[in-house]
């Protein structure tokens, strides 16, 4: 009976410790929860025919998006789900972390567009794929 109670006592102690940290506004010892969803992913380039005419390289929030930056554009419904400006996103199969710095036309839903600079061939080769993305939960 004593052997059974010791593990439960240890679990209760850790739970109480985590509640104490959270109640004081300090960082929790447990990692933040993430949201993982499936989306359609296409790729885009910094060309006038693929971006806003006259503003090639300027994202929807006014950022200057340049070659080599790990940036994605997101559909408006994903913004409402918490994929807001400057949210860091992990795309399954990629080692890099991408940052939301652009928005897509309102006609698109549950979709991301991966920035591929001037590399038009890479964007064409990517095509359209269904991918799993993970991003932090926001309050």
The tens digit of pLDDT for each residue in 4-22 reads: 444 544 444 334 433 333 3
List, as own/partner pairs, every contact residues 46-51 make where C-beta atoms lie below 8 angstroms and the sequence separation is at least 24, other chains included. Answer: 46/115, 46/117, 46/118, 47/118, 47/120
Sequence-distant (≥ 6) Cβ neighbours of residue 38 within 8 angstroms: 110, 130, 131, 132, 133
Q: How many domains does the chain have?
A: 2
Same domain assignment for residues 25 and 47:
no
pTM score over 0.85: no
Same domain assignment for residues 4 and 66:
no
Task: Please report which confidence band the pLDDT of residue 56 belongs to, taking 50, 70 and 90 as the band edges.
Answer: low
Same domain assignment for residues 48 and 91:
yes
Could you tell me the residue range of the domain that residue 1 belongs to?
A: 1-30
Same domain assignment for residues 21 and 81:
no
């Amino acid at each position: 009976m004593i052997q059974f109670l010791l593990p439960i006592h240890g679990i209760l102690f850790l739970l109480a410790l985590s509640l104490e940290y959270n109640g004081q506004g300090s960082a929790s010892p447990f990692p933040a929860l993430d949201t993982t969803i499936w989306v359609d992913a296409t790729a885009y380039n910094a060309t006038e025919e693929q971006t806003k005419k006259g503003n090639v390289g300027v994202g929807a929030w006014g950022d200057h998006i340049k070659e080599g930056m790990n940036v994605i554009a997101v559909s408006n419904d994903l913004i409402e789900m918490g994929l807001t400006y400057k949210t860091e996103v992990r795309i399954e199969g990629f080692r890099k972390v991408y940052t939301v710095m652009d928005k897509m036309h309102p006609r698109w839903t549950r979709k991301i567009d991966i920035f591929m600079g001037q590399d038009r061939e890479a964007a064409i080769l990517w095509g359209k794929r269904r991918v799993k993305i993970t991003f932090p939960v926001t309050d």
